[in-house]
Amino acid sequence: MRTLLTLLLATMACLCLLHCGGKDAIPVTPDDTEGKAGKIVINEFMTSNRQLGADTIILDDQSDAADWIEFYNAGDSAMSLVGLWVTDDTLDPLQYALDDTVLQPGGFYILWCDHDSLNEFPNHAPFRLSAGLGEVIGLYRTADTSIADLIDFSAIPEARVTNKSYGRVQDGAPTWCQQSFPTPCLPNRG
């Protein structure tokens, strides 16, 4: 049984690598997406969302080009984000509490990472994502500060390119790659 599971996972990883062009895909262990926070996962992020003249990739609700993280409900039932915290520093896991949004199965949620005041703008984290050095994005449970999901992109140069996002090959899948184009609140296209 274990050999069959290993073979199945290896086959899936190969297919995902082919879909993303091979070298850009980064596998994540199956445990990283199963049973964590009821299937709420970090799904896609952009570490360097910059305005280029009149063209901007993605604007937040304040018309700013801010870094962002997309969360996805990979489960079969609606899930509240209450009790989940987001951080860019594993030594400070409770940096930003997600609100009481309820994500339906297949639903998305965007968190803007731009240092905006928590009281002034909802869905804006008090930190930015570092494209230069890279860092981590952690999703933690409040009750015991255990990790619900985490990606360390410090050693992944493809995750730190201006106006490019990095996400799961398919929404909720265990393998990551640089996205052909950013898809916040839309299905990932690898």
Helix (H, G, I), strand (E, B) or coil at 159: helix
pTM above 0.75, yes or no: yes
Question: How far lies 23's CA from each of 103, 138, 157, 178, 180, in Å?
Answer: 32, 24, 11, 10, 14
Counting every residue, how long is the chain?
190
Q: What is the pLDDT of residues 139-148, one digit of tens each?
A: 999 888 899 9
Q: What is the pLDDT of residues 9-54, one digit of tens each?
A: 333 333 332 233 333 333 333 333 344 446 899 999 999 888 766 5
For the chain, domains (ranges, CATH) are 2-178 (2.60.40)
State which residues of the chain have pLDDT below 50: 1-37
